[in-house]
Amino acid sequence: MLGVATSEVEVSLASNKGFWLLLKDEELFVPYTEFPWFKQATLEQITTVEWPTPKHLYWPLLDVDLAVESIRNPSQFPLLAKPHHSSGTH
- Condensed to tens digits (0 to 9), the pLDDT of residues 53-78 reads 999 999 999 999 999 999 999 888 77
Question: Of residues 85 and 63, which shows the higher confidence score?
Answer: 63
Q: Which residues contact 30 (CB under 8 A, 6 or more apart)?
A: 18, 19, 20, 21, 38, 71
| Paired sense of beta strands 9-14 and 18-23, if any | antiparallel
Fold adopted by 6-76 = NE0471 N-terminal domain-like (3.30.2020)
3-state secondary structure of 33: coil
18: left (phi over 0), alpha (psi -120 to 50) or beta: left
Please give the model's pTM, rounded to 2 decimal places.
0.76
Q: Are strands 26-31 and 18-23 parallel, antiparallel or unpaired?
A: antiparallel
